[in-house]
């Protein structure tokens, strides 16, 4: 369902639907966590040894520009990518050792008292990340 919606979105922007672009989209849809460009490349390379890292990176930039893919820049300096599934956003737990990222249910902003924000300030976005070590990296 989401795959077809993305292909239709690409078509409305006259964006070619190349085999490489299809594989990148499928990889991101199947991913349970946001992936770095390198992780996407590594997963695709097993199926398509001729695909280059530059191809993955260029396609991610195009998909991001078309708002099909969301780029997540964590404070650990590693960008990760996920399919943009609409207005609902996510927050993450980020492992400082392996770089894994896991979604947190809910949004802490919902419980935050924002009455203390100056009235002439308009909040347009926010981010919330918790850093630490996953179970595997603690062992």
The answer as to whether 104 is a domain residue is yes
pLDDT value at residue 114: 67
Residue 103: inside a domain: yes
Going from the C-alpha of 80 to that of each of 9, 31, 36, 138, the distances in angstroms are: 22, 12, 4, 22
Read off the CATH number of the domain in which 52 is found. 1.10.10.10
Would you state the pLDDT for residue 109? 74
Binding residues for Zn(2+), by number, are 95, 98, 134, 137
Nearest to 40 by CA among 66, 50, 51, 62: 51
Distance of CA 78 to the CA centre of its chain: 11
d(CA 99, CA 78): 8
Position 25 scores a pLDDT of 96
Indicate whether 139 belongs to any domain.
no
Looking at the domain assignment, is residue 11 inside a domain? yes
* Residue reference for tokens 């419980």: 111
122: left (phi over 0), alpha (psi -120 to 50) or beta: beta
Report the binding-site residues: 95, 98, 110, 126, 134, 137
Q: What is the pLDDT at residue 87?
A: 64
| 137 within a domain of the structure (yes/no) | no
Q: How many domains is the chain partitioned into structurally?
A: 1
Per DSSP, the chain holds a count of helices (H) and strands (E) of 5, 5
Each residue's pLDDT expressed in tens, for the chain with a length of 139 residues: 789 989 999 999 999 999 999 999 999 999 988 899 999 999 999 888 889 999 999 999 999 999 899 898 876 677 899 988 766 677 888 888 888 888 887 777 777 766 667 777 777 777 778 889 999 999 8
Indicate whether 72 belongs to any domain.
yes
Domain limits for position 50: 2-132
Task: Answer yes or no: is 138 within a domain.
Answer: no
Annotation: binding site for Fe cation:
110, 126
Label the pairing between strands 101-104 and 79-83.
Answer: unpaired
Phi, psi of 134 (to 5 degrees): -70, 170
Specify if 32 maps to a domain.
yes
């Amino acid at each position: 369902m989401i795959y077809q919606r993305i292909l239709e979105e690409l078509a409305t922007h006259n964006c070619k639907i190349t085999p490489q672009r299809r594989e990148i989209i499928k990889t991101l849809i199947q991913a349970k966590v946001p992936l770095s460009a390198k992780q996407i490349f590594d997963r695709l390379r097993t199926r398509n040894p001729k695909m280059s890292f530059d191809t993955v990176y260029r396609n991610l930039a195009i998909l991001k520009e078309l708002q099909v893919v969301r780029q997540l820049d964590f404070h650990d300096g590693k960008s990760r990518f996920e399919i943009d599934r609409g207005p609902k956003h996510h927050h993450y737990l980020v492992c400082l050792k392996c770089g894994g990222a896991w979604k947190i249910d809910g949004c802490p902003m919902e419980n935050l008292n924002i009455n203390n924000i100056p009235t002439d300030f308009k909040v347009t976005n926010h981010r919330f990340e918790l850093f630490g070590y996953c179970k595997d990296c603690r062992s």
